[in-house]
A and B are shown apart, each in its own frame.
Chain A
């Protein structure tokens, strides 16, 4: 399942050109919208996560299109796409790859056979069904973008993005992600049940999985890489930075939140806000970008393993309501 890595005319050569980023973002979002009905906000967060160079966690009950969202995201960017199904017998080696006999008797008697993580987009289905060991192995390599087997480092492809899905924790037979593991995801979305009209479209085949095959890559890996670089250049002023700091402090002061957001949470908010700003055709972050980014980027961090992401998102809204966004 390897997409041709050819450069197309819509290569984002002018990475500084904000409009190109906006166009790219809009194209990706509309691709997702074409398959998944009524989830525009979720699509935007997914694209923003992609452009910000982070990993996405989709959490919801089974059957609301989690895997489909991950698949369509992977297809729309082109590049390689692998899918791992989380099970309790999945071992770290199963995903990283391992040394296998090469059939030769010289020094290269063993050769490295890459695991499924060697792809641009890795969809990890039902992450919480995998054992904690496997989960942490995955997230560690995601952090380092490198797989080390027998002392040899194998770099992961660039761009690299993990889209994990998981069921809510209180469903039987799962290993809940620890707070630390959750922290490594830039954003969490909970698509929720589709509205009735959208469900009708899915059932009649106008949208949904049947449309997946029709998805063509709308951009190239190079363009994504350039876009990621451009997003990282988006300016954040001190005022907005202070706003994020206030938000973090508010989560720490909120009585119903056990542990407030970490600094990494703040970094995630800013990164996601950068992507939102770029997708809006801007080269600077506004407080509104922070407000949009705060929910997806912080909800899972403050909810921890004990509460649902929805509760976390409400609490983030609570915190946002208590602080005044900066203006000129």
Chain B
């Protein structure tokens, strides 16, 4: 023994060149790691919804798309933010492991932003020494609060002195993952090869205490030196029976002369066989031999136990690897080997696949709401909604049940589902026979198939991937419904869909709580929940603001794509007199109201506007009502014109008898009419409007002026006066689309055309007055004072545009808008009466007056009737046109830009000034205006929410206080003393284990120390002393002492 030069194997480990160490430190960079399964489908759903937005031109879909885009960006950014704060501080690894044997490592990871460890975090370990690679992550909540136990397997034998720890973290929805890699020096891990025979050739020597190297083991001889347990090879006659009987094991005499055999393994000769080396060393021990390893410098290192044998095998393996590398099978390869990262797990990115029931049920709610939205848009029956609800509920319950049974679904259920599918498909196919045209398909079979798909997929939604796919389909469905819906409740529907959708998508990323898992002891309810609530509020605000920001640069879509220009008519009554006007029921309206006896409001009804008849008595104003008569999807406001009137007899306007030309739909090209010619230097563009008829209307087809095309399910009369009439009346539910040319006139262009009286006088000299004269004709009853007024208000040489402005200004100043204006006396000129007698009137009188005044100055003008744009629904982006929006205005013929509408009463901007807004601007306006108009209600809601939240908090706190008792609350306060780092105390002095006594010992103040110890003692007594009795006096004393302590700490 004396000749052995003892050495510790760890110390004896040969130095390896420093340049082997990889030089990539933790650069703090966060790199993308990948996305969770199902995310791709979500992106696909987004693209599909973008197509829907393009097809329908619906702003609400754009809203949805922008919100989704911003939320996904937020998800990515939040994941990056969290990952950036992740720090790997320490890795505790066992010092000896065997290749491919699972071993546990504790990785201390802190995520500063959370303050606690994120259970979704994944940790991957790779080695960077080239010796071994291993990991098998995943993460159970661990011994400490901020680390995690990772089970790893090391793949190759050798020494590992540096670990590359990769922390992967996702955003709140768990869709996009980031990684941060840290190289960490660790105490060497000896990765030993698996010991395997055969034995190596070893140098076998025997020696005894006297230094004799004779192999006389087992022979009897020499003095008995004591006893020792039996080893293989001991002779039976050396057994010490008395001791053996006493101890139930074989004990033999140990003799002074008995020699121990020593096996010496030469590390230089067996590096390539590290596994055999380990086996040999273990065998030596098993046989009771003394084993030793001889290193290159001829030092002998005894191997006394299994662990040391493993260490030496690892060292040998490492030396062998280094030798191979040095032998330089190309240095490049060497670097490659050393720096290679092997990824053992190549499967799905998310290892956890199970879903929570919260996620599943909220997804079901979102699916149902989206389908209800769609059914509502298509006027589906209540029974259908009920059927959908039932199947969604059954689907969710079934899929959850299947998910809990680890994916096995019963045959009977599958058969039932298949049967149901076949029936529903048959019904859909039967319906599809009636479909003609794209719109009908888009409103009929297609949504039905989509809904069937969602319902069916509901049964298949058993893991995270399928749940995300399910949500993606739901998203597409919601976008589809949003594209179709134009009603005012759309915003609420979207909210009702979005809330469960978001909850579902976020809880998909959470691990379901398994039975038998220990929940952390409940601490004070306050701090954590408040922080979480604020984080949620902050996230929502950020996403909302981001969405608005994105939307503020997205222009309102300029209408549906050509492919999707919709037209639809539903069993409408045919007009009895072709080309003539009809009332909504198809009958011809009573023969005019020009008999002077008509009473105001006599026509009645929602759409009983006199402007929609053959003759317009300026003294009659229908009883219009405020119901919505139609919704117009158009990017900007315009007059929705119905008719134009040229002939005026002083009281009544009459439409031209020329019916024009009959054309069959659905695509009807409208020829330009007189006065619609536009000079090429004037900017113009296409203006698409889709009209959704909400009330039964007459057969007047409303459209923005200068219509070039109408998509209409029926035939149209395109009249030379620019009006359009259909063969059928427009019943509720009809849809048609008009494409108009929008001339971008502005004040400058109009003003530049000068005095139109002079211009047209010139035309008449050249071309005669046949075409122009009807628009200049004054009724006989027109009084001279009317003409004089018009002449007086016009400055000679002034442009007609300015003249019109002057007339409008005069009218605004000297007349009054009044729906109850008196009826002019029989035979009186309506214009004269309005201007000089009553000075009160409504739009027909005002517009008529302006027309006559302009005509008296030689400016061609006519009266137009129709609807003003109405009010814009900011969410669905349609104009809601009400009965009371019926209107009459003046059209003036500008030779270069065509008929231009002027309106002294309604505030409709010039086309060039009507510049299309952005979706976001619109929405901000809507939000601000609704906040302003509902400020009291909003304040009340916020207040009551705060109150409810406060009450819930107070109740929770009260329950907590009751549960904790007064001593428990004292304990809480005492514990908080230790968490705030005492000033002037070294961090190392803060106790690792915060028992009350140790907390007390850190309170440095000399007065405080005894007080603290007293409090700590009382608290411990209250907690653990069985004979303790609550005593007010003691409590007061402890509380006073604690209060003193708290004061002194501040």
Q: Do A and B come from one complex?
A: yes
Chain A residues engaging chain B, CB cutoff 8 angstroms = 88-89, 91-92, 131-133, 136, 170, 172-173, 235, 237, 239-240, 250, 253-256, 258, 282-288, 291, 305-306, 317-328
Minimum-distance CB pairs A-B, first 8: A328-B1023, A288-B997, A322-B143, A288-B995, A286-B1020, A255-B104, A322-B144, A321-B992
Q: Is the CB of A328 within 8 A of B965?
A: yes
Q: Is the C-beta of B1019 less than 8 angstroms from some C-beta in chain A?
A: yes
Distance of A133 Cα from B95 Cα, bound (Å): 31
Distance of A170 Cα from B6 Cα, bound (Å): 10
Q: Is the CB of A327 within 8 A of B996?
A: yes
Complex partner residue of B996 from A173, A256, A286, CB under 8 angstroms: A286
Q: Is the CB of A239 within 8 A of B144?
A: no
Q: Is the CB of A328 within 8 A of B1025?
A: no
Q: Is the CB of B144 within 8 A of A321?
A: yes
| 26 sample A-B contacts, Cβ–Cβ < 8 Å, listed by A number | A131-B228, A132-B228, A136-B247, A172-B1, A235-B1024, A237-B1024, A255-B94, A255-B149, A256-B92, A283-B1027, A284-B1025, A285-B1024, A286-B996, A287-B993, A287-B995, A288-B995, A305-B305, A306-B305, A319-B143, A320-B992, A322-B143, A322-B145, A325-B995, A327-B971, A327-B1023, A328-B1023
Which residue in chain B gives the minimum CB-CB distance to A254? B143
Q: Is the CB of A286 within 8 A of B1024?
A: yes
Distance of A325 Cα from B106 Cα, bound (Å): 21
CB distance from B134 to the nearest CB of A (A): 14
Distance of A328 Cα from B1035 Cα, bound (Å): 14
CB distance from A131 to the nearest CB of B (A): 5
CB distance from A181 to the nearest CB of B (A): 13
Q: Is the C-beta of B105 less than 8 angstroms from some C-beta in chain A?
A: yes
Determine the chain A residues whose CB is within 8 A of the CB of B521 once the complex forms: 324
Distance of A169 Cα from B251 Cα, bound (Å): 23
Q: Is the CB of B226 within 8 A of A133?
A: yes
Which residue in chain A gives the minimum CB-CB distance to B145? A322
Determine the chain B residues whose CB is within 8 A of the CB of A284 once the complex forms: 1020-1021, 1024-1026
Complex partner residue of B149 from A131, A253, A282, CB under 8 angstroms: A253
Chief secondary structure at chain B's binding surface: mixed
Candidate in B8, B92, B143, B145 with the most chain A CB atoms within 10 angstroms: B143
Q: Is the CB of A240 within 8 A of B992?
A: no
Q: Is the C-beta of B998 less than 8 angstroms from some C-beta in chain A?
A: yes
Determine the chain B residues whose CB is within 8 A of the CB of A287 once the complex forms: 993, 995-996, 1020
Q: Is the C-beta of B51 less than 8 angstroms from some C-beta in chain A?
A: no
Determine the chain A residues whose CB is within 8 A of the CB of B142 once the complex forms: 253, 322
Which residue in chain A gives the minimum CB-CB distance to B970? A328
Which residue in chain B gives the minimum CB-CB distance to A131? B226
Q: Is the CB of A255 within 8 A of B225?
A: no
Distance of A176 Cα from B994 Cα, bound (Å): 36
Which residue in chain B gives the minimum CB-CB distance to A88? B226
Determine the chain B residues whose CB is within 8 A of the CB of A321 once the complex forms: 144, 992-993
CB distance from A40 to the nearest CB of B (A): 15
Which residue in chain A gives the minimum CB-CB distance to B304? A176
Q: Is the C-beta of B139 less than 8 angstroms from some C-beta in chain A?
A: no
CB distance from B612 to the nearest CB of A (A): 80
Complex partner residue of A89 from B95, B103, B144, B226, CB under 8 angstroms: B226
Which residue in chain B gives the minimum CB-CB distance to A281? B1017
Complex partner residue of A328 from B104, B105, B971, CB under 8 angstroms: B971
Q: Is the CB of A328 within 8 A of B144?
A: no
Other 18 A-B pairs with CB < 8 A, given A283-B1025, A287-B996, A325-B993? A88-B225, A89-B226, A131-B227, A131-B228, A132-B229, A133-B247, A172-B1, A237-B1023, A253-B149, A255-B103, A256-B93, A286-B995, A286-B996, A286-B997, A306-B305, A317-B992, A322-B145, A327-B1023
Distance of A189 Cα from B1010 Cα, bound (Å): 29
Distance of A131 Cα from B1024 Cα, bound (Å): 45
Determine the chain A residues whose CB is within 8 A of the CB of B967 once the complex forms: 328
Candidate in A89, A172, A286, A318 with the most chain B CB atoms within 10 angstroms: A286
Determine the chain A residues whose CB is within 8 A of the CB of B1024 once the complex forms: 235, 237, 239-240, 284-286
Q: Mark B973-1001, 1 if CB is under 8 A from A, else 0.
A: 00100000000000000001111111000
Q: Is the C-beta of B558 less than 8 angstroms from some C-beta in chain A?
A: no
Determine the chain B residues whose CB is within 8 A of the CB of A283 once the complex forms: 1025, 1027
Complex partner residue of B225 from A89, A136, A237, A306, CB under 8 angstroms: A89
Candidate in B6, B975, B993, B1019 with the most chain A CB atoms within 10 angstroms: B993
Determine the chain A residues whose CB is within 8 A of the CB of B92 once the complex forms: 254-256, 318
CB distance from A267 to the nearest CB of B (A): 19
Q: Is the C-beta of B243 less than 8 angstroms from some C-beta in chain A?
A: yes
Residues 195 to 242 of chain B near chain A (Cβ within 8 Å) = 225-229
Q: Is the CB of A255 within 8 A of B105?
A: yes
Q: Is the C-beta of B773 less than 8 angstroms from some C-beta in chain A?
A: no
Q: Is the C-beta of B188 less than 8 angstroms from some C-beta in chain A?
A: no
Distance of A321 Cα from B147 Cα, bound (Å): 12
Distance of A309 Cα from B807 Cα, bound (Å): 106
Residues 1005 to 1025 of chain B near chain A (Cβ within 8 Å) = 1019-1025
Determine the chain B residues whose CB is within 8 A of the CB of A319 once the complex forms: 143
Distance of A204 Cα from B1019 Cα, bound (Å): 46
Contact (A133, B228) CB under 8 Å given A321-B144, A325-B993, A327-B975: yes
Determine the chain B residues whose CB is within 8 A of the CB of A92 once the complex forms: 243
Q: Is the CB of B996 within 8 A of A133?
A: no
Distance of A284 Cα from B998 Cα, bound (Å): 17
Complex partner residue of B93 from A170, A173, A255, CB under 8 angstroms: A255
Distance of A250 Cα from B147 Cα, bound (Å): 14
Determine the chain A residues whose CB is within 8 A of the CB of B8 once the complex forms: 170
Complex partner residue of B143 from A172, A250, A285, A306, CB under 8 angstroms: A250
Which residue in chain B gives the minimum CB-CB distance to A327? B971
Determine the chain A residues whose CB is within 8 A of the CB of B1020 once the complex forms: 284, 286-288
Distance of A328 Cα from B971 Cα, bound (Å): 7
Residues 134 to 185 of chain B near chain A (Cβ within 8 Å) = 142-145, 149
CB distance from A194 to the nearest CB of B (A): 23
Candidate in A92, A132, A255 with the most chain B CB atoms within 10 angstroms: A255
Determine the chain A residues whose CB is within 8 A of the CB of B95 once the complex forms: 256
Distance of A255 Cα from B147 Cα, bound (Å): 13
Determine the chain B residues whose CB is within 8 A of the CB of A131 once the complex forms: 226-228
Which residue in chain B gives the minimum CB-CB distance to A319? B143
CB distance from B150 to the nearest CB of A (A): 9
CB distance from A277 to the nearest CB of B (A): 9
